[in-house]
Amino acid sequence: MNDNFTEEITPLLIEWRRTLHQNPELGFMEYYTTYRIGKELEKLGFIIHVGVDALESASRMGVPDEPLLTEQENKALHWGVEESWMEKMRGGNTGVVAIWDAEKNGEHIGFRFDIDALPIKETDAKDHFPSNHGFRSQEDGVMHACGHDGHTAIGLGLAHFIAQYNDSLTGRYTLIFQPAEEGGRGAKAITDKGWLDEVDQFYTGHIGINPYPVGTIAATTRGFLASTKLNAHFKGVASHAGMKPEEGKNALLAAATAATQLYAIPRHSGGPTRINVGKMSAGSGRNIIPEASYLEIETRGETKEINRYVLEEAKRTLHAAAMMHDVEVMIDFVGETEEIECDDSLITTITEACQSSNYVTEVLPFAKVSGSEDASFMTNTVQNNGGKATYMLFGTELPYGHHHPAFDYQETVISVAVDAYIHILKGGMSHE
């Protein structure tokens, strides 16, 4: 095998990353992003499944409203997305699943790359690398502030390797370019389509998270919590607060009652739990009994079962708060993640495979993380079907942290990740 692959493809990795960074798209609206990824994979000879063929449409969570979708669809068409592609994506069905069969017996290996951006206005500070290198976001208020532009580039780099080195490969490869990771909205829809059911090894991961130096990677992670994201809409009856206080049904009070009570959900002896009401809005005018209110909520638990406990308590609390103030409540589930328990056996696999990498300088057995990841649906499905799965980290300095308007990372981490993945592939094959 040509050990210079990573070095040679690096300029392309950077070019992909930068053009993606310039054209960020929000979750379930990655029309142009999907199109560009898909065209590249098609060119390489992958069998691709796009949009409604890639995901189970009904399993998506937190799909944007119709007008927003339409606006972005029109924009994407204007940018050159072909109508035949748009047909498969229209209505927020984005993402690509690419299949490669090496036509020699071997394991089925899956990879996942998330492709969506965030509703953040990118800084125009002079010392911001994308700004002073000419690839700052061109979409106002949308930004690749979590590194998914890099993840996508990694996936494309890996695809090139597979296509180029087919002859020396065995088994089957499934490359998932997943929409709407932010908010835990997209992975379940991909998973429900069955792509992970027969995968023997599954790899995914994130650049950054912990600020390791470039070259350091973590073979596994510990600490992703199961979580559910939900919104509650309370609907009451407005009334003049001075003249007819008894005729109002106070939606603000229902939301306020719910908020204070949600934090009082009892602790669980089985492990940590979390609850947060991150946002609230209610009411229209000072002297009107508020007719409507809105809460953004997140539950977490160490395991899916513990999160389920918090969630069930939260649902009852919301309904009781509505009953308390005689209003109605509608609950939207807009995101969900499970816990991730990486297979420790992959620590050795990865560590040994990467020993010959020129890019990976150190493999940590595990990294402590927190927060939530919807790749958990994939890792758990793989493991439930007898496969092995891990969630890796790829080190880079992080001057500003994820989701910050000035978020940035060292671009060489992209090459490190590609090189790690192809060494894992090669390592896996050398086991044959």
* Cβ atoms 361, 210 nearer than 8 A: no
* Cβ atoms 131, 137 nearer than 8 A: no
Please check if 148 is assigned to a binding site.
Answer: yes
Residue 224 CA to residue 115 CA, distance in Å, equals: 20
Among 115, 321, 353, 367, binds a copy of itself (CB under 8 A): 321
Q: Does 289 bind a copy of itself (CB under 8 A)?
A: yes
Please check if 403 is assigned to a binding site.
Answer: yes
Residue 93 CA to residue 91 CA, distance in Å, equals: 6
Q: What is the DSSP string of 22-44?
A: HS--BTT--HHHHHHHHHHHHHH
* Cβ atoms 182, 119 nearer than 8 A: no
Q: Does 58 bind a copy of itself (CB under 8 A)?
A: no
123-157 in b/e form (b: 16+ CB < 10 A) is beeeebebbeeebbbebeebbbbbbbbbbbbbbbb
Among 58, 83, 267, 386, binds a copy of itself (CB under 8 A): 267
Among 47, 244, 332, 431, binds a copy of itself (CB under 8 A): 244
Please check if 182 is assigned to a binding site.
Answer: yes
Q: Does 214 bind a copy of itself (CB under 8 A)?
A: no
Number of residues that bind a copy of itself (CB under 8 A): 65
Residue 214 CA to residue 52 CA, distance in Å, equals: 37
Q: Does 316 bind a copy of itself (CB under 8 A)?
A: yes
| Maximum Cα–Cα distance across the chain | 83
**Site stretch for a copy of itself (CB under 8 A), options 131-139, 162-170, 197-205, 266-274:** 266-274
The values of phi and psi at residue 341, to 5°, are: -120, 100
**Shortest Cβ 252–a copy of itself spacing (Å):** 6
Residue 302 CA to residue 300 CA, distance in Å, equals: 7
Residue number with CB closer to a copy of itself (314 or 414): 314
Q: Does 211 bind a copy of itself (CB under 8 A)?
A: no
340-371 in b/e form (b: 16+ CB < 10 A) is bbbbeebbebbbebbeebebbeebbebbebee
Binding mask 175-204 for a copy of itself (x = CB under 8 A): --------x---------------------
Among 51, 290, 387, 428, binds a copy of itself (CB under 8 A): 290
**How long is the chain?**
432
Q: Please choose, from the candidates 66, 29, 34, the residue with its C-alpha nearest in 3D space to the C-alpha of residue 50.
A: 34
Among 64, 91, 283, 399, binds a copy of itself (CB under 8 A): 283
Among 22, 166, 261, 361, binds a copy of itself (CB under 8 A): 261
Residue 72 CA to residue 79 CA, distance in Å, equals: 10
Please check if 82 is assigned to a binding site.
Answer: no
Residue number with CB closer to a copy of itself (34 or 307): 307
Residue number with CB closer to a copy of itself (217 or 252): 252
Q: Please choose, from the candidates 73, 92, 263, the residue with its C-alpha nearest in 3D space to the C-alpha of residue 189.
A: 92
Among 13, 48, 55, 253, binds a copy of itself (CB under 8 A): 253
Residue 98 CA to residue 111 CA, distance in Å, equals: 10
**Site stretch for a copy of itself (CB under 8 A), options 50-58, 66-74, 365-373, 390-398:** 365-373
**Shortest Cβ 343–a copy of itself spacing (Å):** 24
Alpha carbon 263 to its chain centroid, in Å, reads: 27
**Shortest Cβ 130–a copy of itself spacing (Å):** 22
**Shortest Cβ 229–a copy of itself spacing (Å):** 6
* Cβ atoms 222, 372 nearer than 8 A: no
**Site stretch for a copy of itself (CB under 8 A), options 1-9, 126-134, 208-216, 243-251:** 243-251
Residue 157 CA to residue 388 CA, distance in Å, equals: 23
Residue number with CB closer to a copy of itself (278 or 386): 278
Instruction: Specify binding-site residues for Mn(2+).
Output: 146, 148, 182, 206, 403
Tell me which residues touch a copy of itself (CB under 8 A): 183, 225, 227, 229, 240-246, 248, 250, 252-253, 255-257, 259-261, 263-264, 266-270, 272-290, 293, 296-298, 300, 309, 313, 316-317, 319-321, 323-324, 326, 370-372
Instruction: Specify binding-site residues.
Output: 146, 148, 182, 206, 403
